[in-house]
Amino acid sequence: MLRRFRNLARLGPVEVGTANDRRGRTRHTAACTAPRCGFSAEYDTRSAAELAARTHRCPAH
């Protein structure tokens, strides 16, 4: 399923975005954009996703 992200922010190599899941709930995703990293996680709150983005230590970067 293709998600339409809104309210995108970039914190270092990590992008944080907000989208709705299949059940219509608002979800917040943090994903690292560095090649070969593979970090991504989904959170219930925007602040949790931003915290994960700030504290992510990218092994590939």
pTM of the model: 0.85
Residue 47 domain-assigned (yes or no): yes
Q: Is residue 61 part of a domain?
A: no
The tens digit of pLDDT for each residue in 1-31 reads 567 899 999 999 999 999 998 898 999 999 9
CB 28 within 8 A of CB 38: no
Q: At 14, list the tokens.
A: 């990590």
- Indicate whether 1 belongs to any domain: no
Q: Is residue 21 part of a domain?
A: yes
Question: Does a structural domain hold residue 40?
Answer: yes
- Domain of residue 18 covers 6-55
The pLDDT of residue 51 is above 60 = yes
The number of distinct structural domains making up the chain is 1
C-alpha distances out from residue 8 to 11, 29, 60, Å: 10, 10, 22
Examine residue 11 and state whether it is found in any structural domain, yes or no. Answer: yes
- Enumerate the β-bridge partners of residue 40: 31
Q: For residue 57, count other CB atoms closer than 10 A to its CB.
A: 6
60 occurs within a structural domain: no
Q: What is the pLDDT of residues 23-43, one digit of tens each?
A: 989 999 999 999 999 999 999
